[in-house]
Structure 1
Amino acid sequence: MTELLNASLDITVAIPTYNGATRLPKILDRLFTQMRIANLNWEIIVVDNNSSDNTCQVVENYQKICNSNFSLRYFLETEQGAAFARLRAVREARGELIAFLDDDNLPDPNWLAEAYAFGTEHPQAGAWSGQIHGDFEVKPPEKFERIQAFLAIREHGIEPHLFDPDNLRLPPGAALVVRKQAWCENVPQRPKLSGKLPGILVQGDDYEPLLYIHYAGWQIWYNPTMHTYHQIPHWRLEKDYLLTLARGCGLCICQLRLINTKNWQKPIVLVRTFLGNLRRVLEHLIKYRGHLKSDLIALFEMQFYLGSMMSPFYCLKRTIRKLTD
């Protein structure tokens, strides 16, 4: 509860970054020119997740031109993984609300004002996110819209609505706003899913804290008036990256479904996850037989289903490793 006592501002914008020296200037320039925030008490914090470039120097340069209306603070988090960077951001944030932005996610000029207004109007909202549009360096492949959500592109229409956490329909960690109280009272200090690390492909670190917040009774909303633009470089549309992403997103499924699951229910979840995704794999094979090698989007979906099918075994392996360590 110490973190809650430190919350004295309206909102903190938190930017976790890893080797983001070339990306940070764009996002900081956007934040320095936000509109409709004259009466807002806010701050920016940059959490450097053990970068090897000159990220620290970039932040120091911007601190020199930061005006008196808000502060820009820098923290180094040496434990690798996006989940640990977000946890550090929550500990350091002085705002009652925390608005996360990845260093490649550029906010609309009204993004901060809309984020704060929505939280004021929806006191039961523990987290909310908006529209995330793709800003592509190269043209995405045909039928890309089928998998664009995996690259944190979300365009769910112009009406606000609740997400569906029970079926893992949730917003990404980029451009996400959380109520600090909801996070601090419910999200463990040690995550089960750390995010991508060298040799570890498993994703799901975006969803884990949201599930804890949801199961504590808070609402998770989609707010279409918040717009950000996710910069997608060419290499994120290449086959090797996409298939690695698909597998990583699949491998976390069982662990996410086990959050808030009673011990007697866990074997049922393991079996249902395996069998449900085995069915999806077989149906996908029948539908796209002969075309998987030439259809990148269908191949991506197959890798996701395979990863999801194998996620119970990955989960069991992690459990056994913890017991034997």
Structure 2
Amino acid sequence: MPEKYKASVAICTYNRLSLLKLCIESIAALKTPPDLFEVLIIDNNSTDGTEEFCKTVSQHYPNHQWRYIKEINQGIAFARTRGAKEATGDIVAYIDDDCLAEANWLDEITSFYDSNAEAMSTGGRIIPKYLVPVADWFGKYFWGLVGSYDLGKSVFQMKSVRYPSGANMHFRKAAFEKYGYFDGNLGRSGKSLMAGEEKAMYLKLIHANEKVFYLPHVIVHHHVEGNKFDKEYVKRHSMGIGGSERLMNKGSFLKLSLKFLEYFAKLGYAIAYGFTYLLQGKPDKMWMLIKFRWWVIEGFLNPEKTKR
């Protein structure tokens, strides 16, 4: 067993034992030889039997190196930071606990880094795997709600406003050593649906002119549970987006003003575009699109409400 692995797969989890088991199965089924990587399961205070199960994983998959880690600071940013600190691999590959990795997932990641020494981080495609029928009001403007992430079939360098999604993102370990870790003031924590911890991390890399790439052949499938279509959940999710942007831009009146204007412009567009849904006889789509944009503004104006 090597002292240092080529890659560390980090699974951050919180009270999703049934889906975590499926995620672990997909990692155990990777084509990558198990002696080349370790798997870190970072438990963020789960109360559903996750700890007990994780301590038996090595019995089910004895050829792999599993490490169970308990992160007591609540929040996805703290869990992801703990994964980066604990990792011994040259590459830290994150996958969410409700995702399934395709068999060539890690091979595609490591081969890209081997061939591209300048790459500091990468992100892949995320395909929704619906566990329930989609809601009637659901449309393209809600792809983020179900974790869908698809920027096409070509590899390209990501700049400016584009950055990978947290459910399928990968870094050189050196990125954290050079630029620090995820901001604990951002991201989901318990029932809070704040976001932005991965965006803030990527902005540090991009502003430092580090190279971040989109890899379309690095694919995970994201389980979409029924609560994602609950309107109260959508409201909290939307407000979390706005609240996170407020926190990321605090201290800069100019940035806050520009973001505020951007959100109101998007609300205006949503109202105008919503009428096309109305003309198609789809009023639910119109109202949810408008509400989504308004809830984002509401969260931006009052970020403390998003933490409840």
Range into which the TM-score falls when normalised by the shorter chain? 0.7 to 0.9
Which stretch of the first structure deviates more once superposed, 281-290 or 232-241? 281-290
The 1-side partners of 2:257 and 2:13 are apart by 37
Paired position in structure 2 for 1:78? 72
Structure-2-length-normalised TM-score: 0.87
Structure-1-length-normalised TM-score: 0.83
Q: Secondary structure of 2:170's partner? A: strand
The 1-side partners of 2:75 and 2:283 are apart by 32
**Which residue of 271, 274, 283 maps to 1:285?**
271
Cα deviation 1:54-90 (Å, max 9, x = unaligned)? 111211221123334x310001011111011001111
Distance 1:281 1:144, change over 3 A: closer
| Post-superposition offset of 1:102 | 0.8
Q: Secondary structure of 1:184's partner? A: helix
**Which residue of 156, 162, 170 maps to 2:163?**
170
Distance 1:218 1:299, change over 3 A: farther
* Amino acid across the alignment from 1:26: L
Paired position in structure 2 for 1:144? 139
Cα deviation 1:3-38 (Å, max 9, x = unaligned)? xxxx92110000000112212221111111211x23
Distance 1:182 1:296, change over 3 A: farther
**Does structure 1 residue 213 correspond to structure 2 residue 201?**
no
Question: Percent identity at matched positions?
Answer: 22
**Which residue of 227, 241, 249 maps to 1:235?**
227
| Post-superposition offset of 1:171 | 1.9
Tell me, yes or no, if the aligned pair for 1:273 and 1:308 is still in contact at 8 Å.
no
Cα deviation 1:121-150 (Å, max 9, x = unaligned)? 222222211111110012223552332133
Unaligned runs of 5+ in 1: 1-6, 319-325
**Does structure 1 residue 44 correspond to structure 2 residue 30?**
no
Unaligned runs of 5+ in 2: none
How many residue pairs align between the two structures? 300
Paired position in structure 2 for 1:4? none
**Does structure 1 residue 255 correspond to structure 2 residue 241?**
no
Tell me, yes or no, if the aligned pair for 1:246 and 1:303 is still in contact at 8 Å.
no
* Amino acid across the alignment from 1:60: K
Tell me, yes or no, if the aligned pair for 2:6 and 2:37 is still in contact at 8 Å.
yes
Paired position in structure 2 for 1:302? 290
Alignment of 1:262-277 (within 5 A): 266-277=252-263
| Post-superposition offset of 1:53 | 1.5
**Which residue of 30, 35, 40 maps to 1:34?**
30
Q: Secondary structure of 1:221's partner? A: strand
The 2-side partners of 1:308 and 1:301 are apart by 11
The 2-side partners of 1:187 and 1:210 are apart by 11
* Amino acid across the alignment from 2:184: P
Q: CA RMSD in A?
A: 2.7
**Which residue of 122, 145, 163 maps to 1:128?**
122
The 2-side partners of 1:245 and 1:82 are apart by 15
